[in-house]
Structure 1
Amino acid sequence: MKNILNILVIALFLVGCSDAGRKLPIIGHPTITGNDTVYSTIKPFTFLSQDSSVITEKTFDNKIYIADFIFLSCTSICPVMTSEMKKVYDVFEANPNIYFLSHTIDPENDTIPRLKAFAEALGVNSHKWFFVTGDKDHIYSMAEKSYFATAYPDELSPGNYIHSGGLLLVDTHKHIRGVYDGTNPKETERLIADLKILLNEQFTR
């Protein structure tokens, strides 16, 4: 019996070591330059938050963040996505190394006051979870070219927009490290687990 317990302890230790050493993949289209592999990064951007603060890619320097694309009048997947994102926020609210970034794809209607009211109703910290607006073409371009996501107007779709339902995990080097179905609670659990792995990779020395 004692030998069995010893084996179990060793097995658990090895699993723990394995998890500690795990690294998430880098998502995107790498290019090979000589002996170096260069991965896609999030391109520069400038938006305004619910507090009218200027938010750029530099806001997220040395931060891990989760991004998504939503609009406030959406009655299909957006409320579910925001609810799942809030679950992740609640787990990591006290962690200063993790931020959240929600882009509206309907900037004409999702004004700064509306974004602010929405964020306040959620009860989130405006210095940690940014609801941003800006030039719509810039938003759509960021979705497609930086986040490999979909976001554009479509009169035949619910709410007159088509957009991806993904939650996108971005590391401190502006690489996408994971994409998660924002409508699936199981995927939210996976995102939370992957965030812990990424925190260990990038902030544990």
Structure 2
Amino acid sequence: MRISLLLIGTVLLATGCNHGGTTKTLPILGERDTVSTLVDGKTVIDTVYKRIPDFELLNQDSVLITNSLFDGRVYIANFFFTHCPSICPTMQRNLLKVYEKYKHDDRLRFLSHSIDFRHDSPSVLKAYAEKLGVTNQHWQFVTGSKADIYGLADHYMVYTKEDSAVPGGYDHSGYFLLVDPERRIRGAYDGTNDDQLQLLFDDLEILLNEYTP
């Protein structure tokens, strides 16, 4: 429900027209805090947005990567597992369309988190990436402990759960999360929906232009 409400807000804000020459920007999603500081005897209230926390995960090449790999770049994150029989194949094929357009653009990266911490070893992720058609290091496939991956999913506001009653044994939402270089979520898109995929393409250009000198 939380991500769905945020998604509605994203669509309404991001698809609005420009008025008076104002440059269109994307909203910042997620929880926020207010911080009061005293400046020259006056109280100034700033809004502090939640950010994706530091992380350390193992990638498809058995290399430990951290959030620093994405410093200064926009990236698209999602959660999946390699033997998923339901939404993952459609999600990853759709994300591949974005990757194919931007795979040589150094401003953008891709980060797919496996929620199957038992089966999806680096070698499994490597074979999966190659079969999908990933040809460079701009798209990372990562695994980690259940606490690491599922904890990050909470920060991305994505639903993930082990569930023996569903096909594949894991239940999860199929959103692509658009993250800015300051590690703030700027958009959430249903990875199985063609209209949402087009919205991601449109919003991605807006965000890349925001951070391009």
What's the TM-score once normalised by structure 2's chain length?
0.85
1:183 maps to which residue? 192
Larger radius of gyration: 1
The runs of at least 4 consecutive aligned structure 1 residues that moved more than 2 Å come to 14-18
Q: Alpha-carbon deviation of 1:107? A: 1.8
User: Matched residues in 2 for 1:126 and 1:141: separation?
Assistant: 27
Cα deviations by residue, 1:166-192 (Å, 9 ceiling, x for unpaired): 000000000000000000011111101
Specify the alignment match of 1:27 in structure 2.
29
Structure 2 partner of 1:84: 94
2:85 is matched by which residue type in structure 1?
T
> Is 2:117 aligned against 1:99?
no
Contact 1:50 1:126 in 2 (8 A): no
44 and 168 in structure 1: CA distance in 2 versus 1, 3 angstrom threshold: same
Determine the structure 2 residue equivalent to 1:155.
164
How many residues get paired? 189
Match of 1:48 among 39, 55, 58: 58
2 CA distance for matches of 1:114 and 1:129? 15
Pair 1:141 & 2:143 matched = no
- Structure 2 residue runs of 5 or longer lacking an equivalent are 1-16, 37-44
Question: Residues of 1 paired with 2:211 and 2:32: CA distance?
Answer: 20
- Structure 1, residues 2-60: CA drift from partner, whole Å, max 9, x if none? xxxxxxxxxxxx96995x81110000011111211000100111101111121111111
Deviations 1:68-99 (A, max 9, x none): 00001111000000011001111111210100
Select which of 36, 46, 54 maps to 1:36: 46
Secondary structure of the residue aligned to 1:21 is coil
Q: 1:197 aligns with which of 194, 199, 206?
A: 206
Q: Percent identity?
A: 44
**Cross-structure match for 2:69:** 59
Are positions 1:128 and 2:138 aligned together? yes
Matched, 1:113 2:123: yes
Contact 1:180-1:188 within 8 A present in 2 as well = yes
Q: Deviations over 1:106-155 (max 9, x none)?
A: 021111111101111122134100000111121001101x1011112011
Whole-Å separation in 2 of the counterparts to 1:51 and 1:16: 47
Greater helix content: 1
AA in 2 matched with 1:33: V
Q: Which runs of 5+ in 1 are unaligned?
A: 1-13
